Structure 1
Amino acid sequence: MTALVTGASSGLGAEFARQLAARGHDLVLVARSRDRLDALAAGLRERHGVRVDVFAHDLAERGAPERVVADLATIGIAVDLLVNNAGFGTAGRFEQIPAGRDTDQVMVNVVSVVGLTRLLVPAMLARGGGGGVINVGSTAGFQPSPYFAAYAAAKAFVLNFSLALREEYRGRDLRVLALCPGPTRTAFFDVVGERAAIGARMMPAGAVVRAALRAYDRDRGYVVPGLGNAVNAHLSPRRPRRLVTAIAKRVTRAVLDPA
Structure 2
Amino acid sequence: MAVRKNIVITGASAGLGEGMARLFAARGRDLALCARRRDRLDALAAELTERHPGIRVIVRELDVNDHDRVATVFDEFRTELGGLDRVIVNAGLGKGQPVGTGHFAANRQTVETNLVAGLAQCEAAVSIFREQNAGHLVVVSSFSAVRGMPRTMTAYAASKAGIAALADGIRTDLLATPISVTTVFPGYIESEMTRRTAGRTPLIASAEAGARALVKAIEREPAKAYVPSWPWTPLSLLVRALPTSVFRRIV
Q: TM-score over 0.5 for the alignment? A: yes
Residue 207 of structure 1: which of 206, 209, 212 is its match? 209
- Residue 250 in structure 1 maps to residue 238 in structure 2: no
- Measure the CA separation in 1 of the matches of 2:78 and 2:216: 30
- Measure the CA separation in 2 of the matches of 1:54 and 1:98: 34
Note the 1:160-171 alignment, pairs <5 A: 160-171=165-176
How far did residue 45 of structure 1 move? 0.9
Aligned residue pairs total 244
Alignment correspondent of 2:225 = 223
Which is further off, 27-36 or 163-172? 163-172
- Measure the CA separation in 2 of the matches of 1:219 and 1:169: 14
Amino acid at match of 2:65: A
Alignment correspondent of 1:256 = none
Name stretches of at least 5 consecutive residues in structure 2 with no aligned partner: none
Which is further off, 18-27 or 158-167? 158-167
Give the TM-score taking structure 2 as reference length: 0.86
Name stretches of at least 5 consecutive residues in structure 1 with no aligned partner: 253-259
Note the 1:58-207 alignment, pairs <5 A: 58-69=63-74, 71-72=76-77, 75=80, 78-96=83-101, 98-129=103-134, 131-147=135-151, 148-190=153-195, 193-194=196-197, 198-207=200-209
How far did residue 89 of structure 1 move? 1.1
Residue 30 of structure 2: which of 19, 26, 29 is its match? 26
Instruction: Provide the alpha-carbon RMSD of the alignment.
Output: 2.3
- Measure the CA separation in 1 of the matches of 2:227 and 2:125: 27
Amino acid at match of 2:183: A
How far did residue 43 of structure 1 move? 0.7
Amino acid at match of 1:219: E
Amino acid at match of 1:229: W
Alignment correspondent of 1:233 = 236
- Measure the CA separation in 2 of the matches of 1:222 and 1:158: 13
Q: Percent identity?
A: 28
Give the TM-score taking structure 1 as reference length: 0.84
How far did residue 4 of structure 1 move? 0.9
The answer to whether the 8 A contact 1:31-1:55 is kept is yes
- Measure the CA separation in 2 of the matches of 1:224 and 1:76: 30
How far did residue 178 of structure 1 move? 1.0
- Measure the CA separation in 2 of the matches of 1:206 and 1:97: 37
